[in-house]
Chains A and B, each alone.
Chain A
Amino acid sequence: MNRLRRYSLPYLVWMGIFILIPTVVLLILAFSDLSLYRPGTFRLSLANFAIFSLPTTQRAIWNSFRFAGIAAAICFIIGYPVAFYLSKLGIRVRKILISLLIVPLWSNMLLRINAWEKIFTANSIVTDVFGLSISLVGTDAAIVLGMVAMYLPFMVFPIFSVLEKMDPKLVEAARDLGANDVQTFFRVVFPLSGGGVISGFVMTFLPALTTFVLPAYLGLGKYTLIGTLIESKFIKEAADSRALSINQGSLISLFLMILSITAFLLVIRVDKEGETLI
């Protein structure tokens, strides 16, 4: 064990520099009036919390939760049957279909969002090729559909991995004891896939909650989400030298971080071996 420890040193150093130190900086900024670019006075304060009482912030949080919630729910409704179907397939067909889900994930997300933006814009290449003019950019629907398109695989995989490992004998046992197909599903299969469902929800809901590229492109900048808000606090407002904008941004970032950690704790609670995490 001890001998192995030094091989993990490069990564530990990396984590220290790029995760631990920034987090500490974030904490200091969030709970003080320290200016990041022009360090002068330093006073611990809770004044930054005022940001949460602003209607803009509240609307951003509400928007994020609403869109991420709806998107995760749609991912679940579409994704569960897909995962179920995949788990029933033979190895070969299954491999092909899973690659179809994975390969797009390897292309840059920005590019994919950009592509969706083009598709959702009136008189785009879709109109030239298919004669269809879709005008969705800047609507709720565009944002939700974009989120579903981006994060659907993260709902499918954890559920699939639980279903695939489920002992088929359990299904036979349920049938043997008098359950029909529907009863077998709701009394045995679904309860036993609960861990995968929770992982799936966390893994689609969280990135959707924190995204800022998606609303920028597909919402035409009309929607303020938490991610958008943080971006503007750190970049736009900071450039305008708005007092304390970075400190407020830090506080909102911490808020997101707490949400993520809570979600992670929830996942390891329901899934002790971490088999549903990819």
Chain B
Amino acid sequence: MSKKMIVLNHIYKSYGDLKVLDDFNLYINENEFITLLGPSGCGKTTCLRLIGGFEAPDSGTIEFDGKIINGLEPNQREINTCFQKYALFPHLDVFGNIAFGLRLKKIPKEEITQRVEEVLRLVKMEGLGSRTVSTLSGGQQQRVAIARAIVNRPKVLLLDEPLGALDLKLRQEMQYELKEMQKELGITFVYVTHDQEEALTMSDTIVIMNEGKILQIGTPEDIYNEPKNRFVANFIGESNLFEGIMHEDYLVEFCGRSFECVDKGFRKDEPVDVVIRPEDFDFVPPSKGKIVGIVDSLLFKGVHYEINVIVDGREYTIHTTKFRDIGVKVGLSVDPDNIHVMKRSGA
């Protein structure tokens, strides 16, 4: 296991009566790409600002590289931030923006020039050093913002929804590039987003947050395949959620039918939440299906169809490459290991 770069210990933070972080505990490993993911207002940006030093916690400690840094100003922390709307200095050109941090450190001119050019190459902006910031496109401004931060060779880079203002195509391209950059530079990335797809694509570790608390920490695969509760299942990807009862190990009942599953360790007849991903349903002939319904709507999504099937008055969402027309009677089956049983939350 690699060493812990940042440790947040029992952090509390409120604005007035509003509790933003409530006994928040998290550690971040060296060289990790970690994403704080959650709906707006969940405290993820506050968490980032605490690490950056722009806010102070009401209580709790923040450790960086083994030392408590609560009292340090942002300029005393070996951490740089890539701001949400870039916050580039409008009175400086691209070079001036990127060299800002290096000039403050009184680094010799030649070295500054060399390092700025190196980082411009890395973000694919060679030769644009003398451009004014306002003449750059959104994507280019984004690259300058990243360059301005990483040229200082921070141990940790904080990114606050950096791709939020870009269009889809550019965003996907930048996701890939950011991930590559992180591997190449060996910097710890702490990334904040509310975009679950972005989080799944880039992260080594995802932290799902809601209302100032961590709901689940894990790899993208873990979080997608084994959501811990209803909220996580709903937030990450699309889900069919059912209320069910765990009769015994490996046997769960929902929608009035019993299914084999791979989960165990619940009390007998414990109420549970069951999640089935839309792509985990298969069509079978109606005579062979445990679940039988009528196709209610059909949307073509490019790679797959999104089909809504009404079963006993409730809607099931299915993603499939197979075509079934509206009004057709279909049977549905699901593999036991695609049925995810979770402790009932908020009951």
Contacts and interface: CB of A to CB of B under 8 A. Distances in A.
Interface of A: 167, 169-170, 172-180, 183, 187-188, 191-192, 194
A172 B74 contact: yes
**4 closest A-B pairs (Cβ-Cβ)?**
A177-B101, A169-B87, A173-B87, A175-B74
A172 B54 contact: yes
B75 interface: yes
Contact of B52 (A176, A180, A191): A176
A194 B90 CA distance: 12
A178 B104 contact: yes
B91 A173 contact: no
Contact of B100 (A169, A172, A187, A194): A187
B89 A188 contact: yes
B269 interface: no
Interface residues of B, number: 24
Contact of B104 (A169, A177, A192, A194): A177
Residue of B54, B75, B83 contacting most chain A CB atoms (<10 Å): B75
B80 interface: yes
B210 to A, nearest CB: 26
A224 B84 CA distance: 58
Contacts of A169: 83-85, 87
B188 interface: no
Contacts of A172: 54, 74, 81, 83, 87
Contact of A177 (B54, B91, B100): B100
Given A172-B81, A175-B74, 8 more contacts: A169-B87, A172-B54, A173-B148, A176-B80, A177-B100, A177-B152, A180-B73, A191-B91
B257 interface: no
B105 interface: yes
B90 A173 contact: no
Interface in B53-92: 53-54, 73-75, 79-81, 83-85, 87-91
Contacts of B54: 172, 175-176
B83 A179 contact: no
Contacts of B88: 173
Contacts of A177: 75, 80, 100-101, 104, 148-149, 152
A235 to B, nearest CB: 48
B91 to A, nearest CB: 5
Given A169-B85, A169-B87, A172-B87, A179 B80 contact: no
A178 B89 contact: no
Provide the main secondary structure of the chain B interface: loop
Contacts of B75: 175-180
B73 A173 contact: no
Nearest to A194: B91
Contacts of B101: 177-178
B74 to A, nearest CB: 4
A176 B53 CA distance: 8
B90 A192 contact: yes
A195 to B, nearest CB: 10
Nearest to B79: A176
A188 B79 CA distance: 20
A183 B100 CA distance: 11
10 contacts: A172-B81, A173-B89, A175-B53, A175-B74, A177-B75, A177-B100, A177-B149, A178-B152, A179-B100, A194-B91
A142 to B, nearest CB: 39
Contacts of A188: 89, 91
Nearest to A170: B87
Interface in B117-134: none
Contacts of B104: 177-179, 183, 187
B158 to A, nearest CB: 9
A188 B80 CA distance: 17
A98 B150 CA distance: 42
A77 to B, nearest CB: 22
Contacts of A175: 53-54, 73-75
A174 B73 contact: no
A174 to B, nearest CB: 7
Interface in B92-112: 100-101, 104-105
B147 to A, nearest CB: 12
Contacts of B105: 178
A172 B278 CA distance: 44
A176 B105 CA distance: 13
Nearest to A168: B87
B100 to A, nearest CB: 5
B50 to A, nearest CB: 13
A170 B89 contact: yes
B139 to A, nearest CB: 19
